Amino acid sequence: MVISIVEKIVGRVYPLRRARFYLQRMVVGPSKRRKLASLLSRRLPVLPAAWGEEHLEERQILEEQGYVMLPNLVKECEVDEVVTWLKEKPVYDRWNKAAGTFSIDEPPDDCHTAPHLDTDIVNCPHLLRWANDPRVLSIVGQSLGGKPTLSNLTAWWSYPGHDEPQQAENFHRDVDDLRFIKLFVYLTDVDEECGPHVFVPGSHVCEDFTKIRRYTDEEVISYFGSKGIKSFHGERGSAFLENTFGLHKGQLPKSRRRLLFQAQYSLGPIGIYEYFPIQPEKSSGHPVLDEYVNRLYVK
């Protein structure tokens, strides 16, 4: 019995990167997490001069309210190409891997969200270029304190037709690293009918709600008030950066599905993820990418 318990514990935290992941999750206070992150950021490569420092105002907004909008980051024609590409690719149910892959038009009845495969995201036109835009890397790098690591790339569909929210469709904090920022790009028009992203401005520095769990709307509204919660409505191509240690959720869609692209930037790899760098297809037309930033996803 004792041996089985020990094996279970060791299996959960080994290799060492997993132990680091779980240890940082034990630091729950935002101020303590910021102090530790500042210490760790001293080991990061310095930001290239080419990324510039002209985006200090946007970085300050991000630091203060937990998010900042990025108008004109992507072009409408680029969004068209991305959506056309992804519509032909398979997806899977992130909470039911046994369902296998399926077409975006034929999700299982109980499927709430369906991400695309890493290979298709890496080879999709424009996505890596958006994630490596100098404006984005400059803001994120200044916030992290050095060169960021692109530690998660994903694009997923959110489906209507469900009565109750599932997992991340409830308010929560992300606790992937001591410091991280996420880029969001809407690939479909988003209003109240198709599940807008929802965020509580300023909650990234709030010393309450630090227990790692899902929170109900009632709990969040009773503390911050309904006016203290922001729903991100916008046309396709709308883009913003967000510190998702702040309270947030993906609103359950009512009548239309939503497609969203997300890139995560952190101090290093996320300990519980398995990374398998991909050699992009030559036809993808990707720009020259910073090897350090993209090392987890691109060969």
Please state, in angstroms and rounded to a whole number, the distance separating the CA atoms of residues 127 and 136.
13
Q: Are 274 and 23 in contact (CB under 8 A)?
A: no
pLDDT of residue 162: 95
DSSP label of 185: E
What is the reported pLDDT for 131?
97
Query: Quick one: pLDDT at residue 2?
Result: 47
Output the CA angle 237-122-180, nearest 5 degrees: 70
Token pair 């992300």 is found at 174
- Would you state the torsion angle of the CA atoms of residues 209, 210, 215, 219, taken in this order, to the nearest 10 degrees? -10
Dihedral of the CA atoms 267, 269, 278, 90 (nearest 10)?
A: -100
Q: What is the pLDDT of residue 17?
A: 77
Residue 3: per-residue pLDDT: 47
Q: What is the 3-state secondary structure (H, E, C) of 38-63?
A: HHHHCCCCCCCHHHCCCCHHHHHHHH
- Residue 297 in contact with residue 120, Cβ under 8 Å? no
pLDDT the model gives residue 51: 80
pLDDT for the residue numbered 97: 87
Give burial (CB, 10 Å; 0-12/13-18/19+) of 91: buried
* Separation of alpha carbons 190 and 73, rounded Å: 17
> Do the beta carbons of residue 199 and residue 155 sit within 8 Å?
no
The pLDDT tens digits along the chain (299 residues) read: 544 554 454 455 556 778 889 999 999 999 999 999 999 999 999 998 878 778 989 999 999 999 999 999 999 999 999 999 999 999 999 899 899 999 999 999 999 999 999 999 999 999 999 999 999 999 999 999 999 999 999 999 999 999 999 999 999 999 999 999 999 999 999 999 999 999 999 999 999 999 999 999 999 999 999 999 999 999 999 999 999 999 999 999 999 999 999 999 999 999 999 999 999 886 556 678 999 999 999 99
* Rounded-to-integer distance, Cα 120 and Cα 86, Å: 8
| Tokens encoding 280 | 């992009």
Q: Considering the entire predicted model, what is its pTM? A: 0.92
Q: What is the DSSP letter of 99?
A: G
Contacts of 29 (CB under 8 A, 6+ apart): 207, 210
Between CA 213 and CA 220 the distance in angstroms is: 13
One-letter amino acid of 250: G
Distance CA 40, CA 17 (A): 15
CA distance 58 to 46: 20
* Residue entry with tokens 């060969």: 299
Place of tokens 């009773």: 222
CA distance 282 to 137: 24
